[in-house]
Amino acid sequence: MRQLAAAVAAVACLTAGCSSAPAQDPGPGQRRAAVSAASLPPDPRTASALLKIATTFNNDYGRGDYAPVYARWDARSQAIITRADYIKRHMDCPSGPQTLSRTESVSPGGPDGAWLVHYEIGGQQLTDYWFYVHGRWVFDLVLSNPDMVPMYRMSPQQYVAAVGCSR
Domains of the chain, each with CATH number or no CATH: 44-163 (3.10.450)
- pLDDT at residue 23 greater than cutoff 70: no
End-to-end CA distance of the chain: 58
Q: What percent of the chain has pLDDT over 70?
A: 73
Confidence of residue 50 (pLDDT cuts 50, 70, 90): very high
Mean pLDDT over the full length of the chain:
79
